[in-house]
Amino acid sequence: MVAEQDCILKMNNIHKSFGGLKALDGVDLDLRCGEVLGLVGDNAAGKSTLMKILTGFYHADMGSISLDGKKVNIDNPKVSKRLGIEMVYQDLELCQNMNVSENLFLGREVIRDPVFKFLKRKQMEKKSVEILRKLKIDIKQPRKRVDKLSGGQQQAVAIGKAVSFDPKMLVLDEPTANLALKEIGKVLDIVLQLKENGIPAIFISHRLDDVFQVCDRILVLRGGRLATVKKISETNHDEIVRYMFLGLGEEEPQGG
């Protein structure tokens, strides 16, 4: 049994249908202080739907969400952001033709004079380097255009941007998909750095090797249902694959 105060987030008995299709069927998820929770499952298992309910893009048909032990009503993405939930989407949502610093501060530029709207460019650039350095992200040129960065560096900027909002928790959607092998390690280092900074995260991935490297626990969805939750130290790759595909133990309580 996990003490209520150890959980940042609790999603309870979440149901969601699209027409006749049951995408989520009574799913529970909890995220604990300082952990990275892997969220895995085959295509169409319901991972994105569950996270879109958390970020206010979809409404659950049934179920509840609590943050820091208080029930919350996440009606729309703005509410989710205000509550301190940041999500880094797979397509990253960075402006390719703007530089690193402009992307980090997009929409909340530091303004010196509200009348002339003269941007304190230097200040934003300095702050950008600081934000990235906190996560040990090695981008020293805040004026570099995002489309000139590698895929891994772009992922790093997107995570840095999310962290700059000082979130309570992060959701990372397939952060290592479509990256060259040598870049994957760097992104995983950033995820570990989040832990060092005390920011808990949900890590959605198809790459089980990556999940085993950075996560503390792993939650498996299968066909819209919770197949299992395991401590990483108490399971292995083969067992998780069986939970994902072969219908092992349908409804175990959240363990660990």
Q: Counting contacts by CB under 6 A, is residue 157 touching ligand ATP?
A: no
φ, ψ of residue 25 to 5 degrees: the values are -130, 80
Total site size for Mg ion, rule CB under 5 A = 1
Q: Counting contacts by CB under 6 A, is residue 205 touching ligand ATP?
A: no
Q: Which residues contact 125 (CB under 8 A, 6 or more apart)?
A: 101, 142, 143
Dihedral of CA atoms 180, 181, 182, 184 in degrees, nearest 10, equals: 90
45 or 54, CB closer to ligand ATP? 45
Considering the complex, what minimum distance in angstroms separates the CB of residue 22 from ligand ATP? 9
Q: Give the whole-angstrom CA distance, residue 34 versus residue 173.
A: 18
Total site size for ligand ATP, rule CB under 6 A = 11
Q: Give the whole-angstrom CA distance, residue 203 versus residue 245.
A: 20
Q: Which stretch binds ligand ATP (CB under 6 A): 6-14, 41-49, 154-162, 179-187?
A: 41-49
18 or 165, CB closer to ligand ATP? 18
Considering the complex, what minimum distance in angstroms separates the CB of residue 47 from Mg ion? 5
Q: Counting contacts by CB under 6 A, is residue 47 touching ligand ATP?
A: yes
Q: Which does 73 bind (CB under 5 to 8 A by kind): ligand ATP, Mg ion, none?
A: none
- Among 43, 73, 97, 178, contact with ligand ATP (rule: CB under 6 A): 43
Q: Which does 43 bind (CB under 5 to 8 A by kind): Mg ion, ligand ATP, none?
A: ligand ATP
Q: Counting contacts by CB under 6 A, is residue 3 touching ligand ATP?
A: no
The closest residue (CB) to Mg ion is 48
- Residues 49-68, interacting with ligand ATP (CB under 6 A): 49
- Residues 66-105, interacting with ligand ATP (CB under 6 A): none
Q: How far from the centroid of its chain's Cα atoms is residue 105's Cα?
A: 20
Q: What's the residue count for the chain? A: 256
35 or 174, CB closer to ligand ATP? 174
Q: Which residues bind ligand ATP (CB under 6 A)?
A: 18, 21, 23, 41, 43-49
Q: Which residues bind Mg ion (CB under 5 A)?
A: 48
